[in-house]
Amino acid sequence: MIDTKLAYLAGLIDSDGHITVAKSEPSQRDRARSTIHYPIVGITNTDKRMMEWVLENFGGSYGSRMGQKMKAKSLERGWKERYDWRMTGKKSLTLLEDILPYLVVKRDRAELVLQFREHEEVVNALSTRQGDVLPSYIIQDREKIRAAVMLLNKRGTK
């Protein structure tokens, strides 16, 4: 049986969304920490009602990402305000698992990002203690996933 809300969300992500992996390097004073890779699922649209529906049904966060200058320029040009909804981290992985059967266009990205689950036990054990560094093989695996997703998300014809 099709869960219509999950199917609808998958359609929104296929058309107006993105699935990616962000990377955060440790600061100079935080040398004990590892490079952090985290998944992001998001949707960009000009209809605030859609964003409120996604937020109400799936969580995450949304808002207008336009600064005052951009907002003024957009209004001047007759453009609508743009809203961005996003979900990150473990919640985004659970969401991707739920919508995977319904994704068409971005299914390949979701399957790559879901590989983050492979090392979940090790990552969870380390993240409960301050100052632990992820093993290099996990960082390397996640960087490979990130590079593959970025290649799929690359703009252009090829």
CATH of the domain at 96: 3.10.28.10
Residue 63 β-bridge partners: 84
Q: Range of 52's domain? A: 4-153
Q: Over the stretch 4-23, which tens digit does the pLDDT of each residue have?
A: 999 999 999 999 999 999 99
Residue 39, phi then psi, degrees to nearest 5: -75, 150
Output the pLDDT for position 113: 96
In a domain, 40, yes or no: yes
Sheet with 61-64, strands from edge to edge, namely: 17-24, 36-45, 83-88, 61-64
Output the pLDDT for position 121: 77
**31, amino acid identity:** R
Residue 40 CA to residue 92 CA, distance in Å, equals 6
In a domain, 23, yes or no: yes
Mean pLDDT across 36-44: 93
Q: Over the stretch 67-118, which tens digit does the pLDDT of each residue have?
A: 666 667 767 777 788 899 999 999 999 999 999 999 999 999 999 999 988 8
Output the pLDDT for position 111: 97
Residue 102 CA to residue 147 CA, distance in Å, equals 24
Helix orientation angle between 4-16 and 89-99, rounded to the nearest 10 degrees: 110
Mean pLDDT across 44-70: 88
Output the pLDDT for position 78: 76
In a domain, 158, yes or no: no
- End-to-end alpha carbon distance in the chain: 37
Output the pLDDT for position 13: 98
In a domain, 55, yes or no: yes
Token duo for residue 69: 């200058």
Helix (H) or strand (E) holding 13: helix 4-16
In a domain, 136, yes or no: yes
User: Of residues 139 and 58, which shows the higher confidence score?
Assistant: 58
In a domain, 81, yes or no: yes
> Three-state DSSP class for 21?
strand
The number of folded domains in the chain is 1
| Mean per-residue pLDDT of the chain | 86
In a domain, 29, yes or no: yes
In a domain, 83, yes or no: yes
